[in-house]
Structure 1
Amino acid sequence: MGVTLDDAARRFLAAFEEVTGVDGRDCLVTEGGDRLVIVVETGGMSDAIGPGGRTVKRFEERVDAQVRLVEDADDPEEFVANTFAPAAVYNVTISENTDVVAYVEVAEGDRGIAIGTNGRTITAARRLAARHFDIDDIQLT
């Protein structure tokens, strides 16, 4: 499934790839453009972060925005779990009744991390799951 990016997202991904040397697969830009969620190629997370986080920090400084990285995956369950990192995800089950819903079992102590400040993490997870795997909703269990 292809992801359509707007001009701003394409510019951010080009800058990300230039700074990190890692292929970016998708980019969500929040309103105001001060926060980015970038989907990184499978296996590219450590290179994108860099030693001590230096590489991703250099990218954040270049684009003047906070950046959250998500590792890509071919499997929808694995991809959904990756969108919640660093929260401990025990299980992801996808139900395909009327709507396609991913039920995500998260450690009780990590529910706040999975939801994120003002719901940012779960909102980004829902958007990414819809864009990459046609998942209509994500519910935490």
Structure 2
Amino acid sequence: MSIKFTTNEIRYIGLFETITSATVKDCIIDEEHDKVTFLVKKGDMGLAIGKRGSTIAKMQNKVDKSIEIIEHSDDPGEFIKNLLSVAKVNSIEFSTNAKGNKIATLDVDSKTKRSTIGKNGQNIRRARQFAKRQFDISDIIIK
């Protein structure tokens, strides 16, 4: 599945890769919350963050937005756990609905459920976007 980036996403990816030397696999800009989320190649998290967060701070100053970094994984289960790192995920089940859409159902610890969903659902919305773009998973359901 190919991803079509906007001009702004391409600009942010280029700047991020120049500043951090990390390889970006995907990027989502959330204008409503002034946030840019980068999906970096597995193993590039250290490069992306930098010593004591210096690299990420430099990037935040350049774009004047909050920056979030998520590590990619070729395993969809691990990938979803990375997307929702605040969650204590007990289990993940993958299924296909009647229309042929892939669904991921997460059993999340009740203590972390609110932070997993995020304020006004922003965390789960972002996770669904990345899951769709990377693994063609149509929905993530939290129980």
The answer, yes or no, to whether TM exceeds 0.5 is yes
The Cα shift of 1:109 comes to 1.4
Task: Report the equivalent of 1:130.
Answer: 132
Counterpart AA for 1:53: G
What pairs up with 1:24-35 in 2 under 5 angstroms?
A: 24-32=24-32, 34-35=34-35
Instruction: Classify the secondary structure of the residue corresponding to 2:112.
Output: helix
Tell me the distance in 2 between the aligned counterparts of 1:10 and 1:117.
27
SS in 1 for 2:36: strand
- For the 8 Å contact 1:39–1:71, the answer to whether it is kept is yes
1:117 to 116, 119, 123: 119
State the SS of the aligned residue for 2:111: helix
Percent identity, please. 33
Any idea what the Cα deviations from partners look like across 1:34-89, whole Å, max 9, x if unmatched? 21111011111122112221211111111111111111111111111111013222
| C-alpha displacement of 1:32 | 4.7
For the residue of structure 2 that corresponds to 1:136, the secondary structure is strand
Classify the secondary structure of the residue corresponding to 1:73: coil
Counterparts in 2 of 1:101-116, with a 5 A limit?
101-116=103-118
Contact 1:29 1:36 in 2 (8 A): yes
The residue type equivalent to 2:69 in the other structure is L
Q: Give the Cα separation in 2 of the matches to 1:89 and 1:55.
A: 29
Q: How does 1:91-110 map to 2 (within 5 A)?
A: 91-98=91-98, 99-110=101-112
Structure 2: where are the runs of 5+ without partners? none
Q: Which residue of 2 aligns with 1:42?
A: 42
**Unaligned regions of 5+ residues in structure 1, if any?**
none
Report how far residue 106 of structure 1 moved.
1.9
Count of residues in correspondence between the two structures: 141
Runs of 4+ in 1 over 4 A off after TM superposition: none
1:22 maps to 22
